[in-house]
C-alpha cells in the first residue's frame, strides 16, 4: 500500500492558463476529499466524492474549478484561467466510510503546490 | 459554522522537554471529534491523536496526550519528551459526529521547532 499520491508535486503556471492535478487515493477507499492550504493557513475543504458522486462543494470552489472522479478511483481537479490568488497547496485525502457512523480516518497525500505567476 | 482557533503561531522547545499546544473551537454541535494533525516540512499530514467529544477521558497516544475541556471548548496537545522529529506544523481540527461529509475544519496551525 503506497498511500495517497498526488501528481504533480509542484506546478508553476502563468496567469490565465489551465492546470489539472491528479490524486490517487488508497485502494478501496470510497471517499475522496480535496482541500486547499494557503500560506499561513490551515487546509480548507473544497469538495468531496463518495465513489464517483461529487456530494458537496464549498463556496470556495468557484466556477473556474471543476473536480471529477470517474469510476470512483482517481480524481482530477482542474482550475481554468488561473489567477494569482489560486496559488496554494492542494491537498487530497481519502477514507473508507462504512455504514454505522463510525469515525473514518482521512489519509492525506503530499499535496500539489501551485504557483501562479 | 464551526471555527477552530490556534492563537500561538510558533513555539520552540528543547529536546526531551514537554510542550503544550493550545486550541479552542466554537460549535453548536454536541457530538463531534477533535484532532491534532502533524505536517512535517515537505511531507504529508498525518494524524497524531483523536478525541471523541462524548468521552470524558482524555486521549493518549504514547508521548502525545490531550486536555479536552468540553465546556470551555478547549483542546490542547501535550508532547512529552520532545524529539527532533516532532519539528513540524501542528493543526487542530474539528469534525461533526453526525456523519455526512465528515469534512475537517482546521485551525491556522502552529509551527513547533524542537532544538537539540
Closest chain B residue by Cα to residue A110 = B44
Q: Among all residues of chain B, which has the CA nearest to that of A103?
A: B97
Residues of chain B found within 8 Å of residue A108, distances taken between Cβ atoms: 44-46
What are the beta bridge partners of residue A95? A31
Cβ pairs bridging A and B (under 8 Å) = 53
Task: Give the model confidence (pLDDT) of A73-103 as tens digits.
Answer: 999 999 999 999 999 999 999 999 887 667 7
More confident residue, B65 or A71: B65
CB spacing of A103 vs B52 below 8 angstroms: yes
Q: Which residues of B touch A (CB under 8 A)?
A: 4, 6, 33, 43-47, 50, 52, 91, 93, 97-99, 101-109
pLDDT tens readout for residues B73-115: 999 999 999 999 999 999 999 998 766 778 999 999 999 999 9
Residue A101 is predicted with a pLDDT of 61
Q: What is the pLDDT of residues B46-73, one digit of tens each?
A: 999 999 999 889 999 999 999 999 999 9
Q: Rounded to a whole number, what is the distance in Å from the CA of A111 to chain B's nearest CA?
A: 7
User: Over the stretch B19-37, which tens digit does the pLDDT of each residue have?
Assistant: 999 999 999 888 899 999 9
β strands within B1-116, DSSP E: 3-5, 10-14, 19-21, 24-26, 32-39, 46-52, 60-61, 64-69, 74-79, 88-96, 105-106, 110-115
**The predicted structure's pLDDT at residue B98:** 66
CA–CA dist B59, A52 (Å, integer): 35
DSSP per-residue string spanning A51-75 = TTEEEEE-TTS-TTEEEE-GGGS-E
Amino acid at each position: 500500500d503506497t498511500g495517497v499520491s498526488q501528481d504533480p508535486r509542484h506546478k508553476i503556471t502563468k496567469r490565465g492558463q489551465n492546470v489539472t492535478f491528479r490524486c490517487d487515493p488508497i485502494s478501496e477507499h470510497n471517499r475522496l476529499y480535496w482541500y486547499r492550504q494557503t500560506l499561513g493557513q490551515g487546509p480548507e475543504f473544497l469538495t468531496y466524492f463518495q465513489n464517483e458522486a461529487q456530494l458537496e462543494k464549498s463556496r470556495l470552489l468557484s466556477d473556474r474549478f471543476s473536480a471529477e472522479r470517474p469510476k470512483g478511483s482517481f480524481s482530477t481537479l482542474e482550475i481554468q484561467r488561473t489567477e494569482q490568488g489560486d496559488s496554494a497547496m492542494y491537498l487530497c485525502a481519502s477514507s473508507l466510510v462504512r455504514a454505522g457512523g463510525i469515525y473514518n480516518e482521512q489519509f492525506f497525500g503530499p499535496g500539489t503546490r501551485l504557483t501562479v505567476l | 459554522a464551526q471555527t477552530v482557533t490556534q492563537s500561538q503561531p510558533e513555539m520552540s522547545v528543547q529536546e526531551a522537554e514537554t510542550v503544550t499546544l493550545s486550541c479552542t473551537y466554537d460549535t453548536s454541535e454536541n457530538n463531534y471529534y477533535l484532532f491534532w494533525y502533524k505536517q512535517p516540512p515537505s511531507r504529508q499530514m498525518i494524524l497524531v491523536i483523536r478525541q471523541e467529544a462524548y468521552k470524558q477521558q482524555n486521549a493518549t497516544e504514547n508521548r502525545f496526550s490531550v486536555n479536552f475541556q468540553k465546556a470551555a471548548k478547549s483542546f490542547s496537545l501535550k508532547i512529552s519528551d520532545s524529539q527532533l522529529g516532532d519539528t513540524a506544523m501542528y493543526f487542530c481540527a474539528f469534525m461533526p459526529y453526525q456523519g455526512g461529509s465528515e469534512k475537517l475544519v482546521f485551525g491556522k496551525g502552529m509551527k513547533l521547532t524542537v532544538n537539540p
